[in-house]
Chains A and B, each alone.
Chain A
Amino acid sequence: MMEGARCPFRGIMTRIGPLSSEEFNTLLVEHMQPLYNLALWLCKDSHQASDLAQETLLKALRARESFQGGTNLKAWLFTILRNCFINILKRRGKEESFDFEVENAGEVESGPGTAYGELPPFLMRSDIDRALEKLPGGWRFLILMVDLEGLSLAEAAAVLGVPVGTVKSRLFRARMILSRQLRDYRVSGRGDGP
């Protein structure tokens, strides 16, 4: 067996080799859907998300030469998207932060003995969306990159410019917060009965 070989059905990578301009443009169009989706999850406003997605695309086109064949195009685009979003935040001079320093993050336990609690057996789309919306932007961006868009932890780490270990611990914390919110909805929200 080849070292490092993986079952193709388990790979979630979108690795791209050397591309012609036409291939590159075609792939950009294909990647606009996930770009716009993440942009809207970040901005929470469709007009801002459109602007962000378009700005990302234009920067990608200008930086086409810097894209290295054999790397993940989606991750590369997400890196540009993230940088554009951070620039927008800076331009607005908002206090809003894209980093991962969230209040009460220290309360999240970690380690082999941590109790996770049971998640409600049935969750609605609105439950998931509401819980994700409550996550700080950077955490939401990370969890959506990994769970929804299928980036590997290494690719997500490259997008964020942090080590893989940091991504793991941030993912764990984000999941703990999500999990807690989802359990709370169950207790206080929709109720158990008709």
Chain B
Amino acid sequence: MDCKDVQERIEELVHGFVPAAEEEALRAHLLACKLCAQRYQWVEKLALEIAGKATNHALPEELRRSIEKDLMRTASRRSWLRPAVWVPAAALAVVILALTVLFGRPERRSIQVNQVIQAVVRDYQGQWFNSRLGDPHLVGADLQRWLDKAMDLEKKLPFQGNDEFVLLGARKVEVSGRQGALLVYRREEAVIGFFILPAKGINFPVQPDGRRRVLAEQTGYVSLTWPWDSYVCSLVSTQKNREQVVALWERMRSRPPSG
């Protein structure tokens, strides 16, 4: 890999679009080559300055209202009485009911808790993270205290689970040298991992206003990532659980942390 190859890839590297295997080689070159490192730093600084400081013009309230009106008008044209809508909905309701009966019993949940956490971590580990597991924590009233201790979390958890989204347990994780936490939720048969990591050093431009969210689908996985003050949160699950991931994210967003 020569300087030309590396400089061709610098934009992607700065913005975090280089596969892990290739990134290693690029970073090794940057350590050894002053010229390329200089260009990398130059691009990175400019990109971060723009991401952090370019004015993000707020959507005028009047325009927002007008848009919502447009959308409502479009929505009202659709009839909910069409069989194409209610037949699948009814079928889905039956399936959900069946799943609730099958999987919703408390004893079944408690048996699976540790296995599920282990499986989630094992699954994600080696896919994306150079991660290491810390001590386990089965959830309870002291979850917030455990989190504070585990990763110096100064914020109140956005959502600790309910009957719909059951919080199964938590693990301390170390992801690329950063101490974080992994919480595992389950809704019906969908298992969703929730990572909280300190944002510092994570290679993507976190917007101070917290408006950026990321729904990334890799082969077999879906993840939804967003900044939360000085942390980065990410919900991860298999692609078939995409809607459940979005629903959990909505739940977390609808109850913003007060801390």
Interface size class of B (residues with CB under 8 A): 35 or more
Q: A8: CB under 8 A from chain B?
A: yes
Majority-rule SS of A interface residues: helix
Q: A150: CB under 8 A from chain B?
A: yes
Chain A-chain B contacts (Cβ-Cβ < 8 Å), number: 199
Identify which of B106-114, B137-145, B157-165, B206-214 touches chain A: B206-214
Q: B234: CB under 8 A from chain A?
A: yes
Q: B90: CB under 8 A from chain A?
A: no
Quick check: A171 and B67 within 8 Å, CB to CB?
no
Identify which of B46-54, B94-102, B146-154, B184-192 touches chain A: B46-54
Q: A91: CB under 8 A from chain B?
A: no
A18-29 Cβ-contact flags toward B at 8 Å (1 or 0): 000110010011
Residues of B within 8 A of A7 (CB): 16, 20, 128-129
Q: B156: CB under 8 A from chain A?
A: no
Residues of B within 8 A of A89 (CB): none
Identify which of A35-43, A77-85, A184-192 touches chain B: A35-43
Knowing A9-B232, A11-B225 are in contact, say whether A128-B216 is a contact too (CB < 8 A).
Answer: no
Quick check: B204 and A4 within 8 Å, CB to CB?
no
Q: A158: CB under 8 A from chain B?
A: no
- The A147-166 residues at the B interface (CB cut-off 8 A) are 147-148, 150, 152-153
A29–B62 CA distance with the chains assembled, in angstroms:
13
A13–B17 CA distance with the chains assembled, in angstroms:
10
Quick check: B67 and A54 within 8 Å, CB to CB?
yes
Residues of A within 8 A of B218 (CB): 2, 4-6, 8, 11
Q: A21-B75, A21-B78, A146-B15 are in contact. List 12 more A-B contacts (CB 8 A).
A: A5-B19, A7-B20, A8-B225, A9-B204, A11-B223, A12-B17, A15-B216, A37-B57, A50-B63, A123-B53, A129-B55, A153-B17
